[in-house]
Structure 1
Amino acid sequence: MWNPNLHAALWDVREALTTQLDTEHLEWNYTHLPYALTTVNFGKQTVCDTHMDDKDFAFMQSVLKCFGSFDYRKGGHLLFPSLKLAVQFPQGAEAYFPTARLPHANTRIGPSEKRYSITSYSSGGHFEWAYRGGLHKYGWQEYLRTHELEEAEDARDAERPALLTERFFPIWH
């Protein structure tokens, strides 16, 4: 496991969602993956312009897979414009990257070719809900007001990005 802390956090959130009375009847897409969501793109030519998936959990690497009958040397490349990087992405390839933080796209393929993709990810909302004790954003804000904890929470919010980056993107020496 290349990122055990992130993997554990994903499973923790999955377990929190699974054990709720409102959601215990729902089935997961996969039994062996901790991701809550999967998008399957079966258009004839799955091509996406440069974007970031800002609803995904920002500290998570999503999984992207591609399939189809296309010449991966000529098209279907995975693009990371901010890194000035194009990666050949052949059929069956799998990429893990932070879709909410890293702009990405893919190149067009030939007119008679086909390309499909499957992406697995978890939304930031799932993490927020789990770490707020099952409260949505407005319920959490009401809880903070009721218990006069808004200032303390603001201070924690300022520290959270650095703490999460350190936890989920460790620097190995």
Structure 2
Amino acid sequence: MLREGEAADFHKKEKDHRRGVFPAINIGVTHGKGTPHPIQLSAGTHSAMMRRLLEDADMQRLAFFASASFQHWFPRTYAYYKQRLDVLWTEFTKREEGRLLKKNFPRSIFPSAAFNFGPRVCTFKHRDYLNCPFGLCSVQALGEFDPKKGGHLVLWEPKIFIEFPANSVVLIPSATITHSNTPCQPHETRLSFTQYCAGGLFRFLKAQDPALYDQIIEQRKDQWKEGLELFGTLEELLHSS
């Protein structure tokens, strides 16, 4: 990622955005902000670079590890994703419909990913409000930096900051918890790789599975409770381990 980022010619909006001042490219499948149906994000002039990164064996292992961690620690939330996203991949991968959608990684549940190229990624305080509100986003720190002196993960509502060394992964509800990270030192490198799911992807069920969609609408007033119930308890996690 560092080599690819150094060789790339990023546009201003790719280097200065709401999450920070560093080059970032989002890739994968999303739905929302006026799209009529789930769409494939375009990497534009960076298409060849993103194809190399998505096909890289090490990046695929990182993606799968984060997905497997999600399945292990949040099995009910993972199952919620899988039930709905399986419909998406079945219904929206038909060439004759002209809406071919492609997974980023064959063994990852997450339909979208963000490559934050650095060389010193420091995110602003933000929430990813278009993501599923009770869903999980995986964040993986990369690079070479002293985690005791920088690169800490900051979670603002619980008022905690966490040492977050390179090669670590964390799963957070990024749409509902405000988060950021502290800068690393000037001579160090810090990049990050995140995977996520836009909440709008679950709305396309209205056309594809009306019964399930009607069930979701009926339950909307209590959906926050349903979302919380998808999280596991400490006892369940200990038993599964």
For the superposition of Structure 1 and Structure 2, which TM-score range results when normalised by the shorter chain?
0.7 to 0.9
Offset at residue 134 of structure 1 (A): 3.7
Offset at residue 129 of structure 1 (A): 1.8
State whether residues 69 and 113 of structure 1, in contact with CA within 8 Å, keep that contact through their aligned partners in structure 2: yes
Q: 1:161 aligned to 2:205?
A: no
Q: Distance in 2 between matches of 1:35 and 1:67?
A: 19
Distance 1:24 1:115, change over 3 A: same
Distance 1:23 1:170, change over 3 A: farther
Any stretches of 5+ residues in structure 2 without a counterpart?
Answer: 1-71, 236-241
Offset at residue 79 of structure 1 (A): 0.4
Partner of 1:42: 117
State whether residues 52 and 100 of structure 1, in contact with CA within 8 Å, keep that contact through their aligned partners in structure 2: yes
TM-score normalised by length of structure 1: 0.80
Q: 1:6 aligned to 2:77?
A: yes
Moved segments of 4+, more than 6 Å:
none
Q: Distance in 2 between matches of 1:23 and 1:104?
A: 38
Partner of 2:189: 114
TM-score normalised by length of structure 2: 0.59
Select 2:164's aligned residue among 89, 97, 100: 89
Partner of 2:89: 18
- How many pairs does the alignment contain? 155
Offset at residue 59 of structure 1 (A): 1.1
The one-letter code matched in structure 1 to 2:79 is A
Pairs within 5 Å for 1:15-164: 15-20=86-91, 21=94, 22=97, 25-130=100-205, 132-134=206-208, 153=217, 156-164=219-227
State whether residues 18 and 24 of structure 1, in contact with CA within 8 Å, keep that contact through their aligned partners in structure 2: no
State whether residues 82 and 103 of structure 1, in contact with CA within 8 Å, keep that contact through their aligned partners in structure 2: yes
Aligned sequence identity (%): 26
Segment drifting more, 57-66 vs 157-166: 157-166
Distance 1:172 1:73, change over 3 A: closer
Q: Distance in 1 between matches of 2:122 and 2:76?
A: 32
Any stretches of 5+ residues in structure 1 without a counterpart?
Answer: 145-152
State whether residues 76 and 232 of structure 2, in contact with CA within 8 Å, keep that contact through their aligned partners in structure 1: no
Report which of the two has the higher share of helix. 2
